[in-house]
Amino acid sequence: MNTNLLLSPPLSLYIHIPWCVEKCPYCDFNSHALKSKIPELDYVQALIADLDADIARFDLKNRVLHSIFIGGGTPSLFSAKAIESLLNQVLHRFKYELDIEITLEANPGTVEADKFIGFAKAGVTRLSIGVQSFESEKLLKLGRIHNVNQAKQAAQLAKECGVNSFNLDLMHGLPNQTLDNALDDLRTAINLKPDHLSWYQLTIEPNTAFHSKPPKLPQDEVLWDIQDQGFKLLSDAGYQQYEISAFSLVKSDLTDDKKCQHNLNYWRFGDYLGIGCGAHGKITNQITGLIQRTVKVKHPKGYLDKNREPLNKLTTITPDELPFEYMMNQLRLFSSFTLAHYQQRTGLAASSVLPTLLQAQAKKMMINTQGSSAEKFSIESKWQVTPLGHRYLNDLLELFL
């Protein structure tokens, strides 16, 4: 690894809130059904102690904060007052741009107008609402705590509460879902005019209730039609796909970018701190050139224990792991990247990945979008995944292992 090649990547902050009203049967996120009142004050205190330890560990006092994402679990279970206290304390510790993106995830069953207005006043600029489906039968099957009307109301409140933008999370490939069901869900979402849509295909994860008792999922041909026609519907409605599951509304004047800046930083192999139960982080040390990962204590009880260090694991990504780690993120995106960017983010020479890129190009999974063959090997030449590469992304990624 050559530290001269490394440039300081943007720094984001992920904050994990590990509680939900109930555990959904498909969800493998670190979330726990709430049994009593949330220890809000203690948790905010623990988060700030966790953050201070990371700042000291990685000497981050002079880094500019690029974005914040409060995810879960269900962060909207927290009071606006607790979120305000948390954000004030976080922002006090960093330099940051005035238009910094601060996202908070909300579950429609846990919000009302005053709460959204309170979040906006606390500094939240973007709400991400977990709708999943607009069909009552599907919501029941997914174990959601809200109904269709509450989901629609949450979107309306998000529009009026004072945040800059809002996202809706929808899933497809749901139990017994037909092509028409899935397209109807998308049409309803589009009619609510979110600035951003995350459209995930339901996956059955180990250690979930759906894994122990699998529901009947649509056949592969139906799944394929849902994707194919869903992408077209979104595109016709002005939503640009910029990542496998992420779509942003393109305004006609093109001035206002609605892509999620926080997630973009992950996908571009930027740096991020992860604080809260089980949160993951990735930080580049500018002096040693080491790129390190952190994992925090997973269970709320252990995390809230003042006698315990919040850090559970600290590992270094080795140079031979870096090409895959970079590509695993970057290749999810529909935009191109340069070898110069690869060098800056990994500290590795372009030669560590160029033969594999050429191999992927020969398989028609990647294209080099720039100029003549002489320019092909310039570090400024641009590389992009083809539709074939995105369709068989796992096969493409295996080339980088």
Ligand X SMILES: C[S@@+](CC[C@H](N)C(=O)[O-])C[C@H]1O[C@@H](n2cnc3c(N)ncnc32)[C@H](O)[C@@H]1O
Residues that bind ligand X (CB under 6 A): 26-27, 29, 71-72, 74, 105, 107, 130, 132, 169, 171, 200, 202-203, 205
Kindly state the smallest distance separating residue 74's Cβ from ligand SF4, in Å: 5
- Binding-site partner at residue 194 among ligand X, ligand SF4, none, CB < 5 to 8 Å by type: none
Question: Could you tell me how far CA 205 lies from the centroid of its own chain?
Answer: 18
Residue 23: contacted member of ligand SF4, ligand X, none (CB under 5 to 8 Å, by partner type): ligand SF4
Residue 30 touches ligand SF4, criterion: CB under 6 A: no
Q: Of ligand SF4, ligand X, none, which one sits near residue 385, judging by CB under 5 to 8 A according to partner kind?
A: none
Nearer to ligand SF4, 204 or 393 (CB): 204
29 binds ligand SF4 (CB under 6 A): yes
Nearer to ligand X among residue 107 and residue 329 (C-beta): 107
Contact between 294 and ligand SF4 by CB under 6 A: the answer reads no
Quick check: 12 and 64 in contact, CB under 8 A? no
Q: Name which of 397, 267, 259 is nearest 345 in CA terms.
A: 267
CB nearest ligand X: which residue? 130
User: Which residues, 38 to 97, sit near ligand SF4 by CB under 6 A?
Assistant: 72-74
> With binding defined as CB under 6 A, does residue 24 bind ligand SF4?
yes
| Smallest separation (angstroms) from ligand X to the CB of 20 | 6
Considering the complex, what minimum distance in angstroms separates the CB of residue 130 from ligand SF4? 5
Contacted by 203, from ligand X, ligand SF4, none: CB < 5 to 8 Å by type: ligand X
Size of the site for ligand SF4 (CB under 6 A): 11
- Cα separation, 105 vs 76, in Å, equals 6
Task: Tell me whether the omega of the peptide bond preceding residue 73 falls within 30 degrees of 0, making it cis.
Answer: yes
Bridge partners of residue 240, in order along the sequence: 248
| Residue 252 beta carbon to ligand X: minimum distance, rounded to whole angstroms | 29
**Rounded-to-integer distance, Cα 140 and Cα 388, Å:** 36
- How far apart are CB 186 and ligand SF4 at their closest, in Å? 19
Q: Does 276 bind ligand SF4 (CB under 6 A)?
A: no
Nearer to ligand X, 35 or 306 (CB): 35
Q: Specify whether the CB–CB gap between 354 and 360 falls below 8 A.
A: no
Q: How far is the CB of 260 from ligand SF4 (least distance, A)?
A: 17
Distance CA 399, CA 401 (A): 6
| Residue 264 binds ligand SF4, judged by CB under 6 A | no
> Which one of residues 20, 86, 163, 322 is an interface residue with ligand SF4 (CB under 6 A)?
20
Q: Terminal CA-to-CA distance of the chain, rounded, Å?
A: 17
Closest CA to 186 of 131, 244, 123, 256: 131
Residue 30 contacts which entry, ligand X, ligand SF4, none (Cβ below 5-8 A, type-dependent): none
The least distance separating ligand SF4 from the CB of residue 28, rounded to whole angstroms, comes to 8
Residue 202 partner contact from ligand SF4, ligand X, none using kind-dependent CB cut-offs of 5 to 8 Å: ligand X
Give 323's contacts (C-beta < 8 A, 6+ positions apart): 346, 348, 352, 353, 356, 400
Cα–Cα distance, 171 to 153 (Å, whole number): 19
User: Quick one: which of 334, 378, 370, 332 has its CA closest to 354?
Assistant: 378
Binding mask 119-148 for ligand SF4 (x = CB under 6 A): -----------x------------------
Cα(195)–Cα(259) distance, rounded to whole angstroms?
A: 8
Judged by the rule CB under 6 A, the positions of this chain that interact with ligand SF4 are 20, 23-24, 27, 29, 31, 72-74, 107, 130
